[in-house]
């Protein structure tokens, strides 16, 4: 390792590193404008010049590679003189715009102050040639070319960080300028991730919110006065942000550089979509229904509603038995809230009728991975994207649903990582893929078994791994023998040769890692699909090593955590079974109340029980079941049949409208707690602002009601709840708020006699599986619950778009509600012609259950015979189309396959359907 001297101090540096990298690592200040820790060295601004002993000319630190014995001076008078002159040239570029201490991003201004540089020393031709333009067309940031010095950090960030390539340097000489191709941001493919804004050193690219604040005098309370580090409240990637706050107002969410999850990057939702926090629709006081009519509420006090809930629950339990009341918890809530909700259900209601909305997304993942590995969580870390040789993306659309992961995958592909995409649509990642297997919806199991068939028949299986670490291989081999590439082509439409190519790539890369999403789990055979995927990993030895494994992309922010802390009807924390006497004894000793043994109802079973009149009351926390559940008419019927419904939420959702009591809840930016992201990383959520009005956290509401029912839970602080979870849960035993101060911890975090500060576990199953050996789970292809026919000839797939999140409750109440203001029906041009559908026109979409109206988008992203729509807008009520078909094991609904017909709309309609 070369040894070098910088400003009289000795340092070691790895071969190939630059002087700038050493300086940054050691915290030595070397000025620069075009250099960024997130980007490749560019060497254009020359501000980072330093004096290297023995060289006459100055060297740019960002492009000079260290050599043994190098002696460097970074701040000689000559170096400072050159830097000052360079700075004055840059400042002259935007003469008249120079604002000492200007916007929060103006690194250039800070340098000007440091070097006492004059903005007016050089006057030149540029003023007569370059036209200053302002592009204000994006929803969250604007671009003022008069402040631009052409350092190209924004262009490179768009390219290297987000992989979007929207920004370009256009023109030559003095007329060179940065443009969003094809001219403005709104017309471009910009995804508003904000990476360019973060990089801009001059304020040319600025967040509109920050700009507004710096250009007009503001009351003192609106000046950012503190930062609070917290975790994104949207998807399961779990990006970390520093919230910049003034008083009780969020000014900006700034993605932090030292997070191993997002490494300074973010997507539009996490970075910009927080306006919902102060939206006038927020619930601020408890509501009590005052007549038979749903939605007819009066305001009440917390004392009144707590007493009402406690007395109604108690009476219903007394007169109808312990099955009378059930709870649905939320994957949007914190671990602590979910833990309390399941504890409340088990000790206050005396049953296990607790489930959470992970039921409708990744319950199949838990069941499928449990079956093969013995545990149902991601085997590897997001950091492994950097080291893997091949990524297999199955039924997931990361660039829209998990954008920071999507960007990381695109970056990996640019570095040479292979990519296989298995998806019925031409999602963005297919443009980067070596192979795209465009299968018919609902045929995952056949395709995955087909891959295994090729791997075995071509001798590519990892025989040693199979012999040493697995069991039941013979049965598996026998099952997949029937799935020849030709037979799979018949079932799935995937060409046999393409299947062979994908199988060879996956098996021979040396390190293949799989990501999967709801396109695998939300099927009649969702659990089977996950098993087939896990089987493929153990068939090829792609588990237990860096850059391998099975990694579910979790939909909501805390899908992983809500299940880990026991908000499920059959397990307690970390999937410990209440039927196990030792487990029960431990929980009963801690809780001081009996723990029921009989497994409770899953969400679909709750609807059935409500319709049958067996279930009398529910408490639904942060889940808009009436909009997001499949076959919503049935769900609404079930909710309407309850004697008493309590809903906690931020807004008066479709479900809340049916409630008898609505509790105003605080959002993720308004409370303390933890979330667990998709790679098992438990991270702190911190209160950034106060909740509006009388809104309370769900944890506070649960404790109030439990106390009123005579079973108080004495937690003064969320950290105490985490301590209780740790006491009861071996895999979380080493987690405490104190330890989380230094960053997240990936479970398992055990505590042993020898180790009390376990660092967490980045990769699972390195030596053994929880069940000892992994067990091949042979699964057969079963056709989807519903197939197209003459009356309903199209297969409709539902999913997300980048700008919105689930039921859109939060994102619709931000500027993103204007960017994407409706659910669209994507149809292939052939089908558009066949059914007389035109771009931008309305279509009536009918299934065997219902009918909705959607705006048509003709697109080749979908294959002929299939269609796609999102489900973010209550006006569209897309889920009324869905059937009750669900995964055979977990009852995760089959959101991904339904037979529909689409006809151009000639009749009068409103958004709720045809009249
Ligand atoms: Fe938030 Fe997910 Fe976007 Fe990260 S990728 S900022 S966690 S929504």
CA-nearest residue, atom 2 of ligand 1: 235
Which of 191, 198, 236, 262 has most ligand 1 atoms within 8 Å of its beta carbon, as the pocket-test mutant?
262
CA 825, CA 869: separation in Å to the nearest integer? 5
- Give residue 147 CA to ligand 1 midpoint distance, Å: 30
Q: Is 838 left (phi over 0), alpha (psi -120 to 50) or beta?
A: beta
pLDDT value at 214 more than 70: no
Q: What sign results for the dihedral spanned by CA atoms 200, 144, 274, 797? A: negative
Nearest-atom number in ligand 1 for the CA of 402 is: 5
CA 231, CA 683: separation in Å to the nearest integer? 7
- Give residue 467 CA to ligand 1 midpoint distance, Å: 40
**Other CB atoms within 10 A of residue 301 CB:** 12
What's the pLDDT at 858?
96
Q: Is 743 left (phi over 0), alpha (psi -120 to 50) or beta?
A: left
Give mean pLDDT, residues 693-701.
Answer: 95
What's the pLDDT at 906?
67
- Give residue 795 CA to ligand 1 midpoint distance, Å: 30
Please work out whether the CB of residue 402 comes within 6 Å of at least one atom of ligand 1.
yes
- Give residue 471 CA to ligand 1 midpoint distance, Å: 38
Nearest-atom number in ligand 1 for the CA of 233 is: 1
The confidence band for 105, taking pLDDT boundaries of 50, 70 and 90, is very low
pLDDT value at 102 more than 50: no
Task: Specify the pairing of strand 390-394 against strand 71-73.
Answer: unpaired
What's the pLDDT at 290?
95
Which of 587 and 102 is assigned the larger pLDDT? 587
Which of 93 and 877 is assigned the larger pLDDT? 877
DSSP annotation of 161: I
Task: Specify the pairing of strand 512-516 against strand 549-552.
Answer: parallel
The confidence band for 217, taking pLDDT boundaries of 50, 70 and 90, is very low
The confidence band for 575, taking pLDDT boundaries of 50, 70 and 90, is very high
* Contact call for residues 615 and 324 (beta carbons, < 8 A): yes
Q: What sign results for the dihedral spanned by CA atoms 220, 223, 227, 230? A: positive
What's the pLDDT at 911?
42
- Give residue 404 CA to ligand 1 midpoint distance, Å: 6
Nearest-atom number in ligand 1 for the CA of 404 is: 5
* Contact call for residues 153 and 34 (beta carbons, < 8 A): yes
- Residue 249, exposed/middle/buried by CB under 10 A (0-12, 13-18, 19+)? middle
- Give residue 669 CA to ligand 1 midpoint distance, Å: 14
pLDDT tens for each residue of 772-827: 999 999 999 999 989 899 999 999 999 999 999 888 889 999 999 988 889 999 99
Give mean pLDDT, residues 137-142.
Answer: 91
Please work out whether the CB of residue 270 comes within 6 Å of at least one atom of ligand 1.
yes
- Give residue 513 CA to ligand 1 midpoint distance, Å: 21
**Per mean pLDDT, which range of 122-126, 413-417, 510-514 is the poorest?**
122-126
Please work out whether the CB of residue 868 comes within 6 Å of at least one atom of ligand 1.
no
**Other CB atoms within 10 A of residue 763 CB:** 19
| Among 231, 213, 475, residue whose Cα is nearest residue 335 | 231
Please work out whether the CB of residue 262 comes within 6 Å of at least one atom of ligand 1.
yes
- Give residue 685 CA to ligand 1 midpoint distance, Å: 14
- Give residue 861 CA to ligand 1 midpoint distance, Å: 24
**Per mean pLDDT, which range of 92-101, 203-212, 384-393, 605-614 is the poorest?**
92-101
Task: Output the DSSP codes for 303-351.
Answer: HHHHHHHHHHHHHHHHHH-GGGEEEEE-TTS-HHHHHHHHHHIIIII-S
The confidence band for 915, taking pLDDT boundaries of 50, 70 and 90, is very low
CA 349, CA 345: separation in Å to the nearest integer? 5
- Give residue 384 CA to ligand 1 midpoint distance, Å: 18
**Per mean pLDDT, which range of 201-210, 380-389, 668-677 is the poorest?**
201-210
- Give residue 236 CA to ligand 1 midpoint distance, Å: 7
CA-nearest residue, atom 1 of ligand 1: 270
- Give residue 234 CA to ligand 1 midpoint distance, Å: 6
* Contact call for residues 547 and 513 (beta carbons, < 8 A): yes
- Give residue 813 CA to ligand 1 midpoint distance, Å: 17
The confidence band for 669, taking pLDDT boundaries of 50, 70 and 90, is very high
- Give residue 651 CA to ligand 1 midpoint distance, Å: 22
pLDDT tens for each residue of 717-733: 999 999 999 999 999 99
Nearest-atom number in ligand 1 for the CA of 557 is: 7
| Among 285, 333, 816, 360, residue whose Cα is nearest residue 626 | 360
Q: How are the residues of the chain apportioned to helix, strand and coil, as percentages rounded to the nearest 5?
A: 35, 20, 45
CA-nearest residue, atom 4 of ligand 1: 239
What's the pLDDT at 807?
81
What's the pLDDT at 913?
42
Which of 191, 198, 234, 814 has most ligand 1 atoms within 8 Å of its beta carbon, as the pocket-test mutant?
234
The confidence band for 73, taking pLDDT boundaries of 50, 70 and 90, is very high
Which of 622 and 213 is assigned the larger pLDDT? 622
Chain centroid to CA 63: how far? Answer: 36
pLDDT value at 95 more than 90: no
Nearest-atom number in ligand 1 for the CA of 403 is: 5
- Give residue 555 CA to ligand 1 midpoint distance, Å: 10
* Contact call for residues 22 and 10 (beta carbons, < 8 A): no
Nearest-atom number in ligand 1 for the CA of 255 is: 6
The confidence band for 305, taking pLDDT boundaries of 50, 70 and 90, is very high
Please work out whether the CB of residue 404 comes within 6 Å of at least one atom of ligand 1.
yes
Q: Please, how many CA atoms are within 13 Å of residue 193, restricted to the half-sphere of its CB?
A: 33
Q: Which residues contact 51 (CB under 8 A, 6 or more apart)?
A: 58, 59, 72, 73, 74, 76, 78, 79
Please work out whether the CB of residue 816 comes within 6 Å of at least one atom of ligand 1.
no
Q: Which run of H or of E encompasses 816?
A: helix 816-819
- Give residue 271 CA to ligand 1 midpoint distance, Å: 8
pLDDT value at 153 more than 70: yes
Q: How far is CA 798 from CA 234, 397, 522, 613, 867, in A?
A: 19, 12, 10, 31, 9
Read off the tokens for 430: 């297919």
Using a CB cutoff of 8 Å and minimum separation of 24, what contacts does 634-640 make? 634/607, 634/884, 635/607, 637/611, 638/606, 638/607, 638/608, 638/610, 638/611, 639/610, 640/294
Strands (E), 494-615: 512-516, 549-552
Provide the b/e sequence for 878-894 (b: ≥16 CB within 10 Å).
Answer: bbbbbbbbbbbbbbbbb
pLDDT tens for each residue of 882-896: 887 888 888 888 888
Please work out whether the CB of residue 805 comes within 6 Å of at least one atom of ligand 1.
no
Backbone φ and ψ for 515, nearest 5 degrees, come out as: -115, 135
Q: Most confidently modeled of 87-96, 605-614, 751-760?
A: 605-614
- Give residue 882 CA to ligand 1 midpoint distance, Å: 28
Please work out whether the CB of residue 801 comes within 6 Å of at least one atom of ligand 1.
no
The confidence band for 193, taking pLDDT boundaries of 50, 70 and 90, is very high
Nearest-atom number in ligand 1 for the CA of 677 is: 7
pLDDT value at 221 more than 70: no
What's the pLDDT at 130?
58
Q: Which run of H or of E encompasses 835?
A: helix 829-835
What's the pLDDT at 908?
43
Please work out whether the CB of residue 819 comes within 6 Å of at least one atom of ligand 1.
no
Backbone φ and ψ for 103, nearest 5 degrees, come out as: -65, 165
Q: What average pLDDT is seen over the chain?
A: 91
CA 212, CA 205: separation in Å to the nearest integer? 13
pLDDT value at 534 more than 50: yes
What's the pLDDT at 98?
53
pLDDT tens for each residue of 432-453: 999 999 999 999 999 999 999 9
Give mean pLDDT, residues 153-165.
Answer: 94
The H-assigned helical ranges of 612-651 are 625-628, 632-640
Chain centroid to CA 435: how far? Answer: 25
Please work out whether the CB of residue 235 comes within 6 Å of at least one atom of ligand 1.
yes
What's the pLDDT at 109?
79
Please work out whether the CB of residue 238 comes within 6 Å of at least one atom of ligand 1.
yes
Which of 233, 260, 403 has most ligand 1 atoms within 8 Å of its beta carbon, as the pocket-test mutant?
403
């Amino acid at each position: 390792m070369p040894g070098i001297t910088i400003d009289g101090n000795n340092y070691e540096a790895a071969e190939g590193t630059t002087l700038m990298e050493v300086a940054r690592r050691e915290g030595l200040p070397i000025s620069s404008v075009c250099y960024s820790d997130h980007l490749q060295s560019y060497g254009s601004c020359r501000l980072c010049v330093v004096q290297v002993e023995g060289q006459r000319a100055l060297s740019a630190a960002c492009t000079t590679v260290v050599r043994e014995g190098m002696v460097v001076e970074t701040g000689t008078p000559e170096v400072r003189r050159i830097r000052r002159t360079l700075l004055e040239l840059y400042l002259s570029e935007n003469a008249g715009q120079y604002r000492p201490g200007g916007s929060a991003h103006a690194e250039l201004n800070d340098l000007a102050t440091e070097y006492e540089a004059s903005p007016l020393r050089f006057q030149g031709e540029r003023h007569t040639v370059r036209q200053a333009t302002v592009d204000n067309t994006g929803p969250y940031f604007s671009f003022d070319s008069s402040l631009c010095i052409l350092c190209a950090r924004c262009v490179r960030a768009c390219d290297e960080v987000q992989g979007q390539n929207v920004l370009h340097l256009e023109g030559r000489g003095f007329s060179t300028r940065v443009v969003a191709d094809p001219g403005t941001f709104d017309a471009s493919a910009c995804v508003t991730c904000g990476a360019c804004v973060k990089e801009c050193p001059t304020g040319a690219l600025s967040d509109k919110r920050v700009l507004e604040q710096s250009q007009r005098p503001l009351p003192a309370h609106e000046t950012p006065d503190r930062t609070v580090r917290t975790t994104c409240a949207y998807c399961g990637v779990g990006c970390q942000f520093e919230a910049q706050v003034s008083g009780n107002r969020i000014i900006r969410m700034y993605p932090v550089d030292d997070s191993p999850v997002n490494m300074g990057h973010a997507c539009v939702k996490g970075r910009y979509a927080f306006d919902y926090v102060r939206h006038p629709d927020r619930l601020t006081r408890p509501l009590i229904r005052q007549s038979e009519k749903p939605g007819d509420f009066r305001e009440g006090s917390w004392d009144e509603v707590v007493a009402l809930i406690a007395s109604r629950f108690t009476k219903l339990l007394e007169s109808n038995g312990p099955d009378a009341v059930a709870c649905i918890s939320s994957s949007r809530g914190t671990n602590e809230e979910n833990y309390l909700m399941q504890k409340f259900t088990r000790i206050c209601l005396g049953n296990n009728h607790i489930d959470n909305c992970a039921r409708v997304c990744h319950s199949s993942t838990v069941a499928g991975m449990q079956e093969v590995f013995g545990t149902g969580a991601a085997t590897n870390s997001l950091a492994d994207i950097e080291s893997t040789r091949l990524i297999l993306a199955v039924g997931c659309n990361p660039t829209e649903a998990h954008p920071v992961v999507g960007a990381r995958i695109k970056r990996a592909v640019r570095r040479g990582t292979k990519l296989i995409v298995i998806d019925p649509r031409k999602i963005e990642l297919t443009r980067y893929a070596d192979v795209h297997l465009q299968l018919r919806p609902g045929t995952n199991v056949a395709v995955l078994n087909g891959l295994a068939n090729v791997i075995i028949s071509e001798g590519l299986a990892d025989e040693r791994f199979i012999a040493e670490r697995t069991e039941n291989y013979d049965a598996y081999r026998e099952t997949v023998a029937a799935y020849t590439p030709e037979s799979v082509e018949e079932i799935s439409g995937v060409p046999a040769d393409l299947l062979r190519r994908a199988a060879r790539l996956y098996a021979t890369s040396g390190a293949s890692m799989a990501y999967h999403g709801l396109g695998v789990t939300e099927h009649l055979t969702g659990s089977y699909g996950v098993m087939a995927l896990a089987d493929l990993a153990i068939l090829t030895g792609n588990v237990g090593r860096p850059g391998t494994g099975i990694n579910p992309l979790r939909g909501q922010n805390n899908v992983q955590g809500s299940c880990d802390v026991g908000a499920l009807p059959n397990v307690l924390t970390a999937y410990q079974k209440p039927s196990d006497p030792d487990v029960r004894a431990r929980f009963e000793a801690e809780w001081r109340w009996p723990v029921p043994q009989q497994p409770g109802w899953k969400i679909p079973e709750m609807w059935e029980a409500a319709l049958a009149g067996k279930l009398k009351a529910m408490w639904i926390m942060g889940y808009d079941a009436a909009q997001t559940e499949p076959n919503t008419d049935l769900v609404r019927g079930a909710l309407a049949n309850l004697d008493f419904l309590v809903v906690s939420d931020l807004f008066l959702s479709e479900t809340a409208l049916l409630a008898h009591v609505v509790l105003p809840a605080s959002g993720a930016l308004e409370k303390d707690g933890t979330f667990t992201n998709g790679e098992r990383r438990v991270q702190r959520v911190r209160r950034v602002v106060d909740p509006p009005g009388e809104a309370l956290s769900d944890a506070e509401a649960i404790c109030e009601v439990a106390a009123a029912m005579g079973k108080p839970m004495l937690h003064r602080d969320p950290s105490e709840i985490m301590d209780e979870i740790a006491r009861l849960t071996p895999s979380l035993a080493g987690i405490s708020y104190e330890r989380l101060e230094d960053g997240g911890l990936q479970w398992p975090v055990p505590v042993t006699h020898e180790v009390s500060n376990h660092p967490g576990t980045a990769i699972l199953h390195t030596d053994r599986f929880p069940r000892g050996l992994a067990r091949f789970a042979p699964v057969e292809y079963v056709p989807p619950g519903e197939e197209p026919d003459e009356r309903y000839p199209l297969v409709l797939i539902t999913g997300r778009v980048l700008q919105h999140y689930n039921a859109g409750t939060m994102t619709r109440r931000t500027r993103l509600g204007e960017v994407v203001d409706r659910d669209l029906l994507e149809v292939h041009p052939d089908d558009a012609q066949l059914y007389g559908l035109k771009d931008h026109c309305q279509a009536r979409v009918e299934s065997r259950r219902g009918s909705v109206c959607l705006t048509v988008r003709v697109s080749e992203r979908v294959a002929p015979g299939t269609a796609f729509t999102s489900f973010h807008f209550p006006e569209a009520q897309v889920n009324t189309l869905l059937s009750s078909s669900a995964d055979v094991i977990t009852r995760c609904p089959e959101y991904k396959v339904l037979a529909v017909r689409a006809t151009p709309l000639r009749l009068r309609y409103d958004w709720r359907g045809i009249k």
